[in-house]
Amino acid sequence: MKQFLLIFLGGGIGSFLRYIISKSLNTYYPNFYLGTFLVNILGCFIIGILIGISIKNNYLSENLILFLATGFCGGFTTFSTFALESHILFKEHSILYMSVYLGLSIIIGILAIALGLYICKLL
């Protein structure tokens, strides 16, 4: 039961922060959804760091991984919103914006995870 509570609390905090960031930045950049993009990239970087720390020195407990990786990062990042916004750009015939948004999100997301893992190797 404790593990469910940790995931629930982490997810709530992550979702709250995602909402604030997305609401703030998506208003200024309506054709790119900068807020969603940034939370997804930041979430990838954070999970790369968490997994890197866990792999390198087994420093993080299972409960902390559940709270931070599964809960916080799971609530903070959002594939469903990313997919919806891509669909909206497609329906608005903004194929160029949609392509850039999709491409950058996937490529930079993977690179952010790799960067997080690489930083942990250096420490």
Distance CA(62)–CA(55), nearest Å, equals 12
CA dist., res. 88 & res. 98, Å (int): 9
**C-alpha neighbours within 13 Å on the C-beta side of residue 48:** 20
Query: Tokens 């909206």 map to which residue?
Result: 88
74 known ligand binder: yes
To the question of whether residue 70 is assigned a binding role by annotation, the answer is no
Annotated binding site: 74, 77
Annotated binding site for Na(+): 74, 77
